[in-house]
């Protein structure tokens, strides 16, 4: 079937007409030409008070004009209006519904039990039923590296990039279990090509190319403090990746779930790109989830101090969840158990595994979006590029851990920070390349 741009607009237009959005359809039932399309877009922008999106339109060449109109046609304005409305109200979270969650400490599992878990997990991995998904669609603004975060050279003597360091763990798994674990990498529109090119340039670090898959995550428009959608520096719609929680929908839309099922994958690790000690293939966690008969498992490390800026595992309204450092009250963050440990002390490190059935179920609905107040470059209505020095706009992101609340239970396994958590977040100081490099070298006995 030919599915050209005109068919696409007309489908969108029909949908919008059904929703009572506007009369996008021309007399013959479809949009006939650019003028008609422009007219329809202007009408829609007027209705939603977003006319600024066409402020630079007349200065653009035809191709760009068409691209802009196309982008505008795909915006879900009512959704953006709702999100903006929420972003200007402060979220108030009642502490009454939050309680601690139980966990198992990896190091304290009895030897016999550990062996049993190991065997269960190893069997599944050896049978080729395990996959790894790396979320590498983030912008990495705090690190400030010019390129996808995974391409960052950690500063080891080998000059390995973060992607290569992660790939090493998969190569190690291959040596141990005799299978190449399929590796799915989520990128974003901004970094997709650069990411794929990097893998090509480095011959996939010696991993079989047919076992590495890239897919792009979704995006949402960015709005200023008055709720107006911004233009990007090219004069097109300013869109930003929709957060790591967009992973499930993206996996469905890009056929990843389908591909996993076709390969017989039952469990998948889903983690961030920026932990250079991530143990992405851990049979004990797999065994633990299988034994507990839960559909997801997550690793935690002990929260360093009440003020540490990390989310912690908890139960919210009885369901597994994560309470963010921005949500937790000072009192709750300081509460201690009798043994002196923090009551809410199991930091979520974005190292989780999910059963394929859970991934499929979660992917059917979008997770809620949270707003983030950020410094976002944009083109103003005179066509000037503005580089803000203070946060000027809201972007909307879904968080992966919001998916936990759809599960009745999950297995939380506490692991040692120095063995499994070396994040690369900031350019300097805490969680920077310097601290991650130190932890990496210490773990691998390089010092
Ligand atoms: P972070 O929340 O730390 O964001 O992402 P970031 O983009 O890496 O860095 P900052 O906040 O801009 O400095 C945690 C993990 O989730 C991925 C990131 O790539 C990282 O691996 N992520 C985040 C996505 O894949 N997509 C997103 O939209 C956001």
> pLDDT by residue (tens digit) across 181-235?
999 999 999 999 999 999 999 999 999 999 999 999 999 999 999 999 999 999 9
For residue 32, how far is its CA from the centre of ligand 1 (angstroms)? 41
Domain that holds residue 259: 6-23+74-443
Q: Is 102 in the pocket of ligand 1 (CB under 6 A)?
A: no
Residue (of 354, 288, 344, 342) closest to 316 by Cα position: 344
Within-domain flag for 233? yes
- Which pLDDT score is estimated for 3? 44
Distances, alpha carbon 270 to alpha carbons 96, 136, 251, 382, in Å:
30, 11, 11, 43
- Tell me how many domains the chain contains: 1
Closest protein CA for atom 5 of ligand 1: 138
Residue (of 420, 446, 425) closest to 435 by Cα position: 425
For residue 151, how far is its CA from the centre of ligand 1 (angstroms)? 14
The CB density around residue 372, as the number of other CB atoms within 10 Å, is 15
Q: Is 311 in the pocket of ligand 1 (CB under 6 A)?
A: no
Within-domain flag for 17? yes
Assess contact for 271 and 278: CB atoms under 8 A: yes
Assess contact for 137 and 217: CB atoms under 8 A: yes
Q: Is 426 in the pocket of ligand 1 (CB under 6 A)?
A: no
For residue 319, how far is its CA from the centre of ligand 1 (angstroms)? 25
The CB density around residue 224, as the number of other CB atoms within 10 Å, is 17
Query: What distance, in Å, lies between the first and last C-alpha atoms of the chain?
Result: 60
Q: Is 192 in the pocket of ligand 1 (CB under 6 A)?
A: no
Within-domain flag for 348? yes
Angle between helices 34-48 and 5-18 (to 10 degrees): 40
CA–CA separation, 31 and 7 (whole Å): 9
For a substitution probing ligand 1, which of 166, 191, 272, 349 has the most ligand atoms within 8 Å of its CB?
272
| CATH classification of the domain holding 163 | 3.90.550.10
| Mean model confidence pLDDT for the chain | 92
Q: Is 142 in the pocket of ligand 1 (CB under 6 A)?
A: yes
Within-domain flag for 39? no
Q: Is 335 exposed, middle or buried (0-12, 13-18, 19+ CB in 10 A)?
A: middle
Q: Is 243 in the pocket of ligand 1 (CB under 6 A)?
A: yes
Contacts of 194 (CB under 8 A, 6+ apart): 147, 148, 151
Partner residues linked to 313 by β-bridges:
322
96-118: average pLDDT? 95
Within-domain flag for 281? yes
- Which pLDDT score is estimated for 18? 55
- Which pLDDT score is estimated for 92? 56
Tokens linked to 163: 């992607």
In terms of pLDDT, which residue wins out, 97 or 223? 223
For residue 159, how far is its CA from the centre of ligand 1 (angstroms)? 23
Partner residues linked to 394 by β-bridges:
223, 373
Within-domain flag for 163? yes
- Give the DSSP letter of residue 384: -
Please check the confidence at residue 1 and state whether its pLDDT lies above 50: no
Residue (of 79, 38, 75, 82) closest to 60 by Cα position: 38
163-182: average pLDDT? 98
The counts of H helices and E strands in the chain are: 14, 18
383-410: average pLDDT? 96
Q: Which residue has the tokens 């470059």?
A: 377
420-431: average pLDDT? 97
pLDDT tens for residues 236-278?
999 999 999 999 999 999 999 999 999 999 999 999 999 999 9
Atom of ligand 1 nearest to the CA of 400: 16
Within-domain flag for 31? no
For residue 432, how far is its CA from the centre of ligand 1 (angstroms)? 14
The proportion of the chain whose per-residue pLDDT surpasses 70, expressed as a percent, equals 91
Within-domain flag for 241? yes
The proportion of the chain whose per-residue pLDDT surpasses 90, expressed as a percent, equals 85
- Which pLDDT score is estimated for 247? 97
Q: Where are the alpha helices (DSSP H) in 55-137?
A: 62-73, 77-87, 111-126
Q: Is 186 in the pocket of ligand 1 (CB under 6 A)?
A: yes
Confidence of residue 418 (pLDDT cuts 50, 70, 90): very high
- Give the DSSP letter of residue 161: B
25-37: average pLDDT? 64
Distances, alpha carbon 192 to alpha carbons 148, 166, 259, in Å:
9, 18, 20
Atom of ligand 1 nearest to the CA of 273: 21
Q: Where are the alpha helices (DSSP H) in 19-76?
A: 34-48, 62-73
Distances, alpha carbon 378 to alpha carbons 63, 268, 385, in Å:
20, 38, 6
2-24: average pLDDT? 53
- Which pLDDT score is estimated for 150? 98
């Amino acid at each position: 079937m030919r599915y050209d741009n005109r068919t696409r607009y007309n489908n969108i237009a029909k949908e919008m007409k059904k929703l009572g959005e506007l009369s996008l359809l021309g007399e013959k039932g479809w949009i006939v030409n650019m003028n008609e399309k422009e007219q329809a877009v202007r009408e829609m922008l007027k209705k939603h008070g977003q006319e600024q999106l066409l402020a630079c339109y007349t200065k653009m060449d035809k191709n760009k004009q068409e691209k802009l109109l196309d982008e505008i046609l795909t915006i879900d304005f009512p959704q953006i209006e709702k999100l903006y409305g929420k972003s200007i109200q402060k979220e108030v979270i009642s502490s009454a519904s939050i309680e601690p969650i139980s966990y198992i400490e990896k190091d304290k599992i009895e030897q016999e039990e550990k062996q049993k878990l190991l065997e269960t997990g190893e069997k599944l991995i050896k049978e080729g039923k395990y996959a790894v998904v790396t979320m590498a669609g983030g912008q990495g603004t705090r690190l400030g590296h010019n390129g996808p975060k995974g391409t960052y050279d950690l500063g080891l003597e080998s000059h390995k990039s973060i992607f290569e360091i992660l790939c090493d763990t998969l190569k190690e798994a291959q040596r141990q279990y005799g299978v190449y674990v399929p590796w799915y990498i989520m990128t974003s529109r901004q970094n997709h090509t650069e990411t794929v090119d990097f893998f090509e340039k480095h011959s996939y670090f010696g991993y079989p190319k047919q076992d590495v898959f890239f897919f792009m995550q979704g995006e949402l428009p960015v709005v200023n403090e008055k709720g107006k959608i911004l233009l990007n520096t090219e004069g097109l719609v300013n869109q930003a990746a929709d957060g790591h929680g967009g992973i499930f929908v993206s996996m469905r839309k890009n056929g990843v779930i389908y591909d996993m099922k076709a390969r017989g994958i039952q469990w998948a690790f889903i983690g961030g790109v920026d932990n250079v000690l991530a143990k992405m293939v851990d049979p004990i966690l797999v065994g633990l989830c299988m034994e507990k008969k839960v559909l997801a498992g997550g690793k935690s490390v002990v929260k360093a101090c009440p003020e540490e800026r990390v989310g912690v595992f908890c139960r919210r309204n009885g369901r597994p969840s994560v309470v963010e450092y921005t949500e937790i009250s000072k009192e709750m963050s300081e509460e201690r158990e009798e043994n002196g440990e923090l009551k809410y002390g199991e930091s979520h490190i974005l190292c989780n595994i999910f059963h394929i059935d859970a991934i499929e179920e979660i992917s059917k609905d979008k997770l809620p979006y949270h707003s983030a107040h950020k410094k976002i470059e944009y083109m103003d209505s005179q066509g000037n590029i503005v580089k803000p020095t203070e946060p000027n706009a809201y972007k909307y992101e879904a968080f992966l851990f919001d998916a936990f609340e759809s599960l009745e239970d999950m297995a939380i396994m506490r692991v040692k920070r120095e063995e499994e958590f070396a994040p690369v977040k900031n350019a300097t100081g805490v969680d920077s390349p310097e601290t991650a490099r130190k932890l990496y070298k210490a773990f691998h006995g390089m010092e």
